[in-house]
């Protein structure tokens, strides 16, 4: 979902299309908990990356849009964190 938004912002800001194809390979996880932890860390990493981009944007619609994306990523991280806590409590 966000990929398309970023492509559009890039095109509008630079006048160029994003080229290339992601060669990102999904990582295999060893357990449910490991998968949750990996997803949680991925969300936190995305938040940090998006904040760095956000600081470089001028005031306006792009900054506002990216802020909404950051909030959404924070919500995802919070949900993963909750699942990790629930899962750890279930095994005590």
Report the mean per-residue pLDDT for the chain.
91
The residues, any chain, with a CB within 8 Å of residue 70's CB and separated by 6 or more, are 47, 50, 51, 54
Q: What is the pLDDT of residue 37?
A: 96
Whether pLDDT at 91 is above 80: no
Q: What is the pLDDT of residue 1?
A: 66
- Domain ranges, ordered by start, for the chain: 32-92
CA atoms of 80 and 92, how far apart (whole Å):
19
| pTM as predicted | 0.82
Whether pLDDT at 87 is above 70: yes
The residues, any chain, with a CB within 8 Å of residue 33's CB and separated by 6 or more, are 84, 87, 88
What proportion of the chain, given as a percentage, has pLDDT over 70? 98
């Amino acid at each position: 979902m966000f990929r398309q938004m970023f492509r559009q912002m890039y095109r509008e800001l630079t006048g160029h299309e994003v080229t290339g194809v992601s060669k990102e390979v999904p990582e295999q996880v060893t357990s449910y908990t490991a998968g949750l932890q990996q997803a949680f860390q991925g969300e936190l990493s995305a938040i940090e990356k998006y904040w760095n981009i956000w600081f470089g944007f001028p005031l306006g619609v792009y900054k506002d849009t990216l802020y909404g994306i950051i909030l959404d990523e924070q919500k995802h991280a919070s949900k993963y964190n909750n699942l990790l806590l629930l899962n750890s409590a279930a095994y005590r």
